[in-house]
Structure 1
Amino acid sequence: MGIRSVLHPQTRIGRSTLYLPQASYQMTLSEKISFLKVLKEMKTPDEYSSNVSRSVHLKQRKLLGLKSYDCHLLMQEILPIAIRGNLPEKVCIVLIKVCNFLEIFALRSLKKVNLMDLS
Structure 2
Amino acid sequence: MPLVKIHMIEGRTQEEITTILDALHRAVVESFDVPEDDRYQLVLEYPADHLRALDTGLGFTRTKKFVLIEVVSRPRTRAQKEHFYENASSALLRKCHVGSTDVMFTFVTNSDEDWSFGLGQAQFLTGAL
Same fold (TM over 0.5): no
TM-score by length of 2: 0.31
Specify the structure having the higher radius of gyration (Cα).
Answer: 1
TM-score by length of 1: 0.33
More strand as a share of residues? 2
Which of the pair has the greater relative contact order for Cα pairs under 8 Å at 6+ separation? 2
More helix as a share of residues? 1
